[in-house]
Amino acid sequence: MPFFRPEPEAARQASGRTGVLLCNLGTPDAATPPAVRRYLAEFLSDPRVVEIPPALWQPLLHGLILRRRPAASAKKYQSIWLPEGSPLLVYSRKQAVLLRGWLGERGVDVSVRLAMRYGQPSVAAELDALKAEGCTRVLVLPLYPQYSGTTTASVIDAVAAWSRSVRHVPELRFVNRFHDDAGYIDALARRVHEHWMADGRPDRLLMSFHGVPQRVVDAGDPYHGECLETARRLAQRLALREGDWAIAFQSRFGRAKWVGPATQATLEGWGRAGLKRVDVVCPGFVADCLETLEEIAIEGRAAFQAAGGGELRYLPCLNNHPAWLAALASLVQTHLQGWPVGR
């Protein structure tokens, strides 16, 4: 017989509040090899992330990868760590707090909490907290603009796993994607425009998205197509001409074929071509993290310049930009329609 945990008093009283759970990928608790090892062990054990039979993958993960990779990754985290902690967690927490305020200004009274798919705060703990606040309806919003089984579906898996231990499961809704949302595209464009107004336009703009293995796309994952659509809409919104911009994919891991072109290879090619200044924006990330602050702003810049390029400027993610918070609030309001949210 399954074990169902006792319900918190607020949940038993069924006060009928509505909750919003923002969810981002995750981060180590500290920029140290042990913390990185714990984080990677959870992240790389998710079958949505690594589609290799566990009997084959787990010995490789624990026998080789988790012995070698944490120390190198910890050094990278140390290079971007903030006094308050991991940038991804710091910016994502601010987004959750500010979202509650933006919604409140619009007369929307809901509980807003942040979870990380891997690491802390966990999806289960934050859903427990929403139930303890009396929420009987929860909107789950993964902070991934483009849908992928490797990211968005994994959040849904985590919510489903939590629900199996809960006696009174709340009504649940999920925001699967917002890659073509007008507010999101506008926020990206305003972020880029602000930098160009202050420092001028580059020779070329690179839109870099996180990559996925080609087999994932071949199996029907819509992620690649949604990245292309985001890039097309952003280029249109910025009135860019063909040749002014390009799209590429970063963060390759392992020997399998990944979607391309690769970000580093693109930057090296631009360096060899002698481009004097390029800007890089990462539309697939709504909060700065290791993949943007270290992989692009440090490694990407070094690769571009080593190949003969001039200046590379990384444009920060949306983070706490007012245009993004307004777009996020509108996105939440759209998906809350039909649920009581007034004061």
| Residue list for the binding site for Fe(2+) | 210, 291
Q: Order of strands, edge to edge, in the sheet holding 111-118?
A: 111-118, 17-26, 135-142, 171-174
Q: Give me the phi and psi of 139, to 5 degrees please.
A: -95, 120
Q: H or E element: which one contains 230?
A: helix 223-237
C-alpha to C-alpha distance for 172 and 290, rounded to whole angstroms: 31
Q: Order of strands, edge to edge, in the sheet holding 245-250?
A: 245-250, 204-210, 277-281, 311-314
The annotated binding site is made up of: 210, 291
Closest by CA position to 156, among listed 289, 21, 4, 2: 21
Amino acid type, 72: A
In 315-324, which positions are buried (b, 16+ CB within 10 angstroms) versus exposed (e)?
bbbbbebebb
C-alpha to C-alpha distance for 144 and 117, rounded to whole angstroms: 12
Please check whether residue 19 is in contact with residue 9, taking contact to mean a CB–CB distance below 8 angstroms: no
If one counts every other C-beta atom within 10 angstroms of the C-beta of residue 297, the result is 20
Which residues 6+ apart lie within 8 Å of 232 measured at CB? none
Can you give the length of the chain in residues?
Answer: 343
Structure tokens at 176: 């699967």
Going 232 to 237 to 242 to 243, the CA torsion angle's sign is negative
Please check whether residue 147 is in contact with residue 225, taking contact to mean a CB–CB distance below 8 angstroms: no
Which residues 6+ apart lie within 8 Å of 274 measured at CB? 308, 309
SS3 101: helix
C-alpha to C-alpha distance for 274 and 281, rounded to whole angstroms: 20
